[in-house]
Amino acid sequence: MREITYAEAVREALRQAMEADDRVFLIGEDVGVYGGAFGVSAGLVDQFGTERIIDTPISEAGIAGAITGAAMTGMRPVGEIQFMDFVTLSMEQLVLQAAKIRYMFGGKATVPFVLRMPGGAGTGAAAQHSESLESWFVHVPGLKVVAPSTPYDAKGLLLAAIQDDNPVIFVEHKLLYKQKGPVPEEMYTIPLGQSNVVRQGQHLTVVATSVMVSRALEAGKQLAEEGIELEVIDPRTLKPMDCGPIVESVKKTGRLLVVHEAVRTGGFGGEIVASVAESEAFDYLEAPIRRLAARDIPVPYNKKLEAAMIPQIEDIVAEARRLVKGEY
Amino acid sequence: MSDLNNRLSPAAGTDAALREIKPEILERMLEQMMTIRAFEEKAEELYALGKVHGTMHLSIGQEATAVGASNALRETDYLLNHHRGHGHLIAWGSDVNKMMAEFLGKETGYCRGRGGSMHIADVSKNNLGANGIVAGGLPLAVGVGLSIKMRKTDQVVMVIFGDGATNEGAFHESLNMASIWDLPVVYLLENNQYAMSMSVKRAFKIERLSDRACAYGIPGVTVDGNDPIAVYQAVSEAAERARRREGPTLVESVTYRWRGHSKSDRQAYRTREEVKEWMARDPIPTFGARLGKSEEEMARLRAEAVKRIEEAVAFAEASPEPDVSTIEDGVYA
Amino acid sequence: MAKPQIMPKFGFTQETAEIVRWLKGEGDQVDQGDPIAEVTTDKVNMEVEATASGILAGLRYKEGDIVPVTEVIAYILEPGESLPGNGQEAARPAAEAPAPPAEAAPQPAEAPAREEHVRVTPVAEQYAREKGVDLSKVTGTGPGGRVTRADIDRYLETAEPEVPGKVRATPAARRIAREQGVDLVEVRGSGPLGRVQGWDVQEFAARPQPAAVQPEPVPQPAAAPAPAPVPAGEEQVIPLNNVRRLIADRLQRSFQEAPHVYFDADVDTTRLEALRKRANEKLAEGQPGISLTVLLVKAVAWALIRHPLINSRLEEDGIHLLPEINVGVAVAAESGLIVPVLRQANLKPVTQLAAEMKDLVDRARANRLRPDDVSGGTFTVSNLGMFGVDRFTAIINPPQTAILAVGRTRKMFVPDENDQPVLKPVMTVTLGADHRVVDGAVAARFLADVREALEHPEMMVI
């Protein structure tokens, strides 16, 4: 299969969705001729024109409101928030409007939009351009939250998100944009709410999200040489979360390590941990459940500090080894 | 109030304008004002009787703005309104039975008892809901306008918001985006003089709030919000401009909230005299007189309105509560 | 890098080992896996193997020293490399006392609180911080009484559970215990801090009967090594080695704590001898012969089934009746007296017991016993008949409740049914029992069953 980058996969999904459905359009800051801050929408305006690839003023609340209002009245908009950090300026529209409208109105309205946003650190963009805020949205009933970790997942999940009749927060990752992977040329969807067991092993279940999936896989490769086999699971959709495969896996391995980039306290990892602790897998645990997450600090600028804040491959290797060997 | 006339845009609500409106529309507007008043007074009564679980925001005194604005639009148009929204819905032609049922939290209400007074939404009639967040509907109007534009229909969307919302950041983002894209949006600023306790005099440096329109390069007019003809005329013009793809208009409708913000308001921020002065300008008898209604006719209309509302209460009270087993319905599509 | 060579830990409860002799000397070339020293633990001789190849250097202990496990005893250097710390540590200062022997093992609850500075190695200090251990509660066994990482491990292993009455166990272990009807208290945990893991319970449940958690037994008193003839006018001192010290301590404690009560019985072994003779005639090629001791073990096991109170252990909370019958047998070996244990003797055929016994004795004589071979006994048989002893009393092997001392079989005239003297083989057995646990009548009934089994061994098939 041909290989394309994560950014190209997102772009291809957008293009194919817009070709297939007139109701789909893209709206955000600098998504037109500029091609998006990370080049994701490059060239789309040439194909679809400024009517469907809409540059907005710097108005994040306006973008969120625009996709919500349009979605309520028959369109299937895709919004882009340039950096996930800026979604803080959209929160009222997303949390109090988009998420609640359907329920508040007795199930009589639908809000089918996708709001894409790149999160994550590792680019030296410091505290206001590096956040991983996905757990904020996971906490809001009415929203769905998707975080693809590969080009293949990015395309399939974006197409599924666009077809979904609910507001979907689509969390991309800046460091993944240039990562290549096999992606089919045709349109395909990956159902929202399906975890993916990306590596099988019997000693430790590692649930990782977004950029941490590839790090967990690399850790798995290194540990295999020591005879430690990780089972790596990517939830892909953080809400609704598909806990079944995680529970099954923990029943098999008896151990769970959750890895994410967002800061530890209040992070999505806690939700996975709680779900497993509440499940039948509890009775199969042979070790405490552990989380590896960013330290509870704003993202620092300095490269060394930035790396030290966020789980790296060697951190996963070390923590996994400790858990499996009972050295904690 | 004395300076109100200075703020009004010229030629709004004149008798000439009145003569241009179809008589059945005028009759309907008067009936709706009566119904709104009866609904709100009944709501107040039910609340006092302890039959209401939540809160409510009454629009007594503001009926003219609601009926003038809604009747200026078409059935296919969209409405986004706000938390003090009972009147807007009645004027929009929504069913008072379902409204009352929603107010009492019943399964037969517009929102199946999930929304309540603040969030009544008649989605089947393109009402996209009353909004509990001040200025919450303004960014939505951009999306609706964008959708209309992309779908190439001749619809317009009217978003009704208050003087308080006009000082939210969302007001700016919304008016700016709608104006740069010439979206078919009617911005109806229902200025009832108070954002809870904050009077417009304290919250604005400008006299005419519609002056803000010039910052977006769009027309802004201020009309007497207690005169349904003036409101009707201004909103009609704004809607026509929108249909012509000439972009949004900001219509300020100056009226007055007779009651407190909600039920727990001691109204320490204004004087009894001020309230009495505005009550003396009750829009309902004023409008009745302009239509040449006799005392008897007005009494009959009032009685009919009260009867409609009594029936609505009976309907609502006889309706079932939502079943708890359905509690998660409608979170996701 | 100079690789430290530590004193390995051979057994679960082992804390020290005595260096019997160095098999390699300072400056010798060693290959990884080469035995470099012979050491003795509580009762078993072991070899310490080189953990790397290179030059053995910096031997820090001399023969006869008692070394806490995990302590560095030497270094293995690469060619041209020198000892860490310029070799100053290579030889232990003579003034420094050797590490305390096992008897002074940490007793966390009783350890005197130290108000001031605690001597501790840097590694242990860091480790204590990680584990949240209060160093003042840990008894140091390192040089100069320093607290070592091993001391902290020991402290953590022996520390009282944080919540009294609670067992540290994983959720999986709890589920499996629930499903299998296993009491977690009975299961030894292999996880961190002795936590019971799921597999521990599975293993436990898979055994024919749940196993008892038992401290290691002590050997029976043995004759002191025959000292060289004492020259007239001189007093000779035999230094206490590890084994001797342990025996001394435990037996003294046993005799002080447990009020011993003794019961004799004369046993007619006519049928037993006949059985043994016949069985040995019928042995298959290569099968080990059946000794009187093995038959004694079998008879005792048979009687213990009927008297669970004898197969017990007295603890603070009461008398623990033990689910396994593991009979220890005192064996005279060259190095001294040791007590290998025949596990679940009640469940095994005599031929199997004989085979196991032979294996244990062979390995004991070759100093190749494993620590587990000598632990977990629930009752002890001590047979000194081969030394010509008629009868004797033995001290109970704590924490067991009883011990059977067996004298030689001798021919005696005994009256037959017509009161006519008949010559019979008679053996006197003496039951020593802890009177705190066992009343006289209970002991007497047990002893009667032992005699029944020995005089009428066919009863054991019933």
Q: Which residues pair with C431 in a beta bridge?
A: C263, C404
- Residue C106: its pLDDT value, please? 40
Tokens of C170: 């994983």
Vertex B220 angle, CA B218 and B222, to 5°: 175
**Closest among A121, A135, A138, A119 to A267, alpha carbons compared:** A135
AA identity, residue A265: T
pLDDT band of residue C112 (cuts 50, 70, 90) is very low
- Residue C97: its pLDDT value, please? 41
Residue of C nearest to A326 (CA): C192
Catalytic residue among A8, A29, A80, A129: A129
- Residue C101: its pLDDT value, please? 40
Interface residue of C149, C170, C179, C200 to substitute, partner A, most A CBs within 10 Å = C170
pLDDT band of residue C218 (cuts 50, 70, 90) is very low
Q: Any idea where the domains of chain B sit in the sequence?
A: 2-320
Q: Answer whether the bond into residue C84 is a cis peptide, omega within 30°.
A: no
Tokens of A225: 């040489």
- In this prediction, the residues of chain A whose per-residue pLDDT falls under 50 are none
Residue of A nearest to C177 (CA): A283
The answer to whether C70 and C39 have CB atoms below 8 angstroms apart is no
pLDDT band of residue C161 (cuts 50, 70, 90) is low
- Residue B320: its pLDDT value, please? 97
Same domain, A10 and A87: yes
Q: Which residues pair with C403 in a beta bridge?
A: C380, C432
Start-to-end CA distance of chain A, whole Å, equals 43
- Residue C233: its pLDDT value, please? 64
pLDDT band of residue B199 (cuts 50, 70, 90) is very high
Residue of B nearest to A51 (CA): B150
C-chain CB neighbours of A283 within 8 Å are: 171-172, 174-175
* Mean pLDDT, chain B, integer: 94
Residue-wise pLDDT for B113-137, tens only, equals: 999 999 999 999 999 999 999 999 9
Q: Do A73 and B143 touch (CB under 8 A)?
A: yes
pLDDT band of residue B54 (cuts 50, 70, 90) is confident
Question: Taking 80 as the threshold, does the pLDDT of residue C45 lie above it?
Answer: no
Fold for the domain defined by B2-320: Rossmann fold (3.40.50)
The answer to whether C330 and C297 have CB atoms below 8 angstroms apart is no
Domain at C406, CATH number: 3.30.559.10
Mean pLDDT on C70-92? 71
**Closest among B75, B170, B183 to B131, alpha carbons compared:** B170
For chain A, list the contacting chains (3+ Cβ pairs, <8 Å).
B, C
Residue of B nearest to A66 (CA): B143
Higher model confidence: residue B188 or residue B6? Answer: B188
Question: Taking 60 as the threshold, does the pLDDT of residue C220 lie above it?
Answer: no
Q: Do C198 and A286 touch (CB under 8 A)?
A: yes
Of A282, A286, A327, which has the smallest distance from its Cβ to C197's Cβ? A286
Same domain, A88 and A47: yes
**Closest among B90, B304, A107 to B103, alpha carbons compared:** B90
DSSP-derived secondary structure for B228-272: HHHHHHHHHHHHHHHHTT---EEEEEE----S-SSTT---TTS-H
CB burial readout C48-74, b (16+ within 10 A) else e: bbbebebbbbbbbbeeebbbbbbbbbb
DSSP-derived secondary structure for C206-244: HSSSPPPP-PPP-PPP-PPP-PPPPPTT--------HHH
φ and ψ at residue B75, rounded to 5 degrees: -60, -30
Tokens of C407: 């004298």
pLDDT band of residue C48 (cuts 50, 70, 90) is confident
Q: Do A326 and C175 touch (CB under 8 A)?
A: no
Lowest mean pLDDT among A1-10, B185-194, C77-86, C104-113: C104-113
Question: Taking 70 as the threshold, does the pLDDT of residue C350 lie above it?
Answer: yes
A-chain CB neighbours of C191 within 8 Å are: 286-287, 326
AA identity, residue C376: G
Higher model confidence: residue A205 or residue C384? Answer: A205
Interface residue of A204, A276, A286 to substitute, partner C, most C CBs within 10 Å = A286
Provide the domain limits for residue C425: 259-461
Start-to-end CA distance of chain C, whole Å, equals 67
Shortest alpha-carbon distance between residue A284 and chain C (Å): 4
CA dist B222 and B163 (Å) reads 12
- Residue C164: its pLDDT value, please? 61
Give the whole-number percent of chain C exceeding pLDDT 90.
27
Residue of A nearest to B111 (CA): A106
For chain C, list the contacting chains (3+ Cβ pairs, <8 Å).
A
Same domain, A209 and A79: no
Q: Do A68 and B111 touch (CB under 8 A)?
A: no
> Between chain B and chain A, are at least 3 CB pairs below 8 A?
yes
Q: Do A61 and B332 touch (CB under 8 A)?
A: no
Is C337 among the domain residues? yes
DSSP-derived secondary structure for A223-260: HHTTT--EEEEE-SEEETT--HHHHHHHHHHS-EEEEE
AA identity, residue A6: Y
Shortest alpha-carbon distance between residue B159 and chain A (Å): 11
Tokens 């109100």 belong to residue? B4
Is A137 among the domain residues? yes
Of A73, A74, A141, which has the smallest distance from its Cβ to B331's Cβ? A141
The answer to whether A82 and A39 have CB atoms below 8 angstroms apart is no
CA dist C363 and C343 (Å) reads 16
Domain final residue, candidates A182, A213, A235? A182
Is C128 among the domain residues? no
Shortest alpha-carbon distance between residue B117 and chain A (Å): 11
Is C422 among the domain residues? yes
Domain final residue, candidates C91, C107, C130? C91
How many beta carbons lie within 10 A of that of residue C376, not counting itself?
A: 19
The answer to whether A96 and B133 have CB atoms below 8 angstroms apart is yes
pLDDT band of residue C84 (cuts 50, 70, 90) is confident
Catalytic residue among C260, C320, C435, C456: C435
How far are the Cα atoms of A296, A318, B247, C355 from residue A309, in angstroms, in the given order? 8, 16, 49, 62
Query: Which class for C104: exposed (0-12), middle (13-18), buried (19 or more C-beta within 10 A)?
Result: middle
Residue-wise pLDDT for C322-342, tens only, equals: 999 999 998 776 656 678 899
Domain final residue, candidates C91, C108, C137? C91
Please state the pTM of the whole predicted model.
0.65
In the residue annotation, A60 being an active-site residue is answered as yes
* Number of domains making up chain A: 2
Is C268 among the domain residues? yes
Interface residue of B78, B144, B323 to substitute, partner A, most A CBs within 10 Å = B144
Q: How many CB pairs under 8 A join A and B?
A: 151
Is A269 among the domain residues? yes
Domain final residue, candidates A135, A159, A182? A182
CA dist B57 and B44 (Å) reads 9
- Residue C425: its pLDDT value, please? 92
Handedness of CA B207, B212, B217, B219 (dihedral sign): negative
Of C171, C191, C198, which has the smallest distance from its Cβ to A326's Cβ? C191
Higher model confidence: residue C189 or residue A315? Answer: A315
CB burial readout B163-187, b (16+ within 10 A) else e: bbbbbbebbbbbbbbbbebbbbbbb
- Residue B6: its pLDDT value, please? 60
φ and ψ at residue B25, rounded to 5 degrees: -70, -40
- Residue C151: its pLDDT value, please? 82
Reported as half-sphere exposure (CB side, CA atoms, 13 A), residue B1 has a value of: 14
Q: Which residues pair with A237 in a beta bridge?
A: A146
Radius of gyration, CA atoms only, chain C? 25
pLDDT band of residue C459 (cuts 50, 70, 90) is confident
Same domain, A178 and A235: no
Domain final residue, candidates A125, A150, A182? A182
Residue-wise pLDDT for C163-178, tens only, equals: 666 788 999 999 999 8
Of A62, A77, A164, which has the smallest distance from its Cβ to B139's Cβ? A62
CA dist A162 and A76 (Å) reads 7
Shortest alpha-carbon distance between residue B122 and chain A (Å): 8
The answer to whether C405 and C329 have CB atoms below 8 angstroms apart is no
Question: Taking 60 as the threshold, does the pLDDT of residue B111 lie above it?
Answer: yes
The answer to whether A236 and A146 have CB atoms below 8 angstroms apart is yes
CB burial readout C316-330, b (16+ within 10 A) else e: eeebbebbbbbbbbb
Is A191 among the domain residues? no
Same domain, A25 and A133: yes
Is A315 among the domain residues? yes
Domain at A271, CATH number: 3.40.50.920
Same domain, A222 and A173: no
Start-to-end CA distance of chain B, whole Å, equals 49
Q: Do B140 and A57 touch (CB under 8 A)?
A: no
Q: Which residues pair with A76 in a beta bridge?
A: A24
Provide the domain limits for residue A240: 196-325
Same domain, A178 and A202: no
How many beta carbons lie within 10 A of that of residue C233, not counting itself?
A: 5
Tokens 């096991």 belong to residue? C301
In the residue annotation, A260 being an active-site residue is answered as no
CA dist A10 and A7 (Å) reads 5
CA dist C228 and A153 (Å) reads 85
A-chain CB neighbours of B114 within 8 Å are: 103-107
Q: Do C192 and A283 touch (CB under 8 A)?
A: no
Lowest mean pLDDT among A75-84, A247-256, B196-205, C149-158: C149-158
Same domain, A166 and A257: no
Shortest alpha-carbon distance between residue B74 and chain A (Å): 16
Residue of B nearest to A104 (CA): B115
Which range scores top for mean pLDDT: A28-37, B258-267, C241-250?
A28-37
- Residue C371: its pLDDT value, please? 72
Residue-wise pLDDT for B291-307, tens only, equals: 999 999 999 999 999 99
Domain at C8, CATH number: 2.40.50.100
CA dist C292 and C457 (Å) reads 12
Same domain, A167 and A206: no
Shortest alpha-carbon distance between residue C201 and chain A (Å): 12
φ and ψ at residue B143, rounded to 5 degrees: -65, -40
Shortest alpha-carbon distance between residue A142 and chain B (Å): 5
Is A255 among the domain residues? yes
Helices and strands in chain A, H and E counts = 12, 14
Residue of A nearest to C131 (CA): A328
Same domain, A120 and A251: no
Spell out the alpha helix ranges (H) of A91-200. Answer: 91, 101-104, 134-138, 151-163
Catalytic residue among A60, A131, A248, A319: A60
Question: Taking 80 as the threshold, does the pLDDT of residue C245 lie above it?
Answer: no
Tokens of A124: 């030296």
DSSP-derived secondary structure for A270-322: HHHHHHHHHSGGGGG--S--EEEEE-SSPPPSSHHHHHHHS--HHHHHHHHHH
Interface residue of A24, A52, A91, A101 to substitute, partner B, most B CBs within 10 Å = A101
Mean pLDDT on C384-409? 91
The answer to whether A112 and A164 have CB atoms below 8 angstroms apart is yes
- Residue C64: its pLDDT value, please? 85
**Closest among A95, A102, A66, A60 to A81, alpha carbons compared:** A60
Tokens 């009517």 belong to residue? A51
Cβ within 8 Å of B, A 36-75: 51-52, 54, 56-57, 59, 61-62, 64-75
φ and ψ at residue A284, rounded to 5 degrees: -115, 0
Residue-wise pLDDT for B146-165, tens only, equals: 999 999 999 999 999 999 99
How many beta carbons lie within 10 A of that of residue C284, not counting itself?
A: 6
Cβ within 8 Å of A, B 147-186: 147-148, 150-151, 157, 169-170, 173-174, 176-177, 180
How far are the Cα atoms of A272, A287, A317, B22, C21 from residue A251, in angstroms, in the given order? 14, 12, 21, 74, 50
Query: Which class for C310: exposed (0-12), middle (13-18), buried (19 or more C-beta within 10 A)?
Result: buried
pLDDT band of residue C154 (cuts 50, 70, 90) is confident
Q: Do A284 and C171 touch (CB under 8 A)?
A: yes
Same domain, A93 and A140: yes
Domain final residue, candidates C69, C91, C113? C91
C-chain CB neighbours of A285 within 8 Å are: 170-172
CA C259 from centre of chain? 22
DSSP-derived secondary structure for B161-222: EETTGGGSHHHHHHHHHHHHTT--EEEEEEE-SEETTEEHHHH-S-S-GGGGGGGGTS-EEE
* Number of domains making up chain C: 2
Is A187 among the domain residues? no
Residue C120 DSSP label? B
Shortest alpha-carbon distance between residue C203 and chain A (Å): 15
Same domain, A178 and A205: no
C-chain CB neighbours of A328 within 8 Å are: 192
- Residue C91: its pLDDT value, please? 43
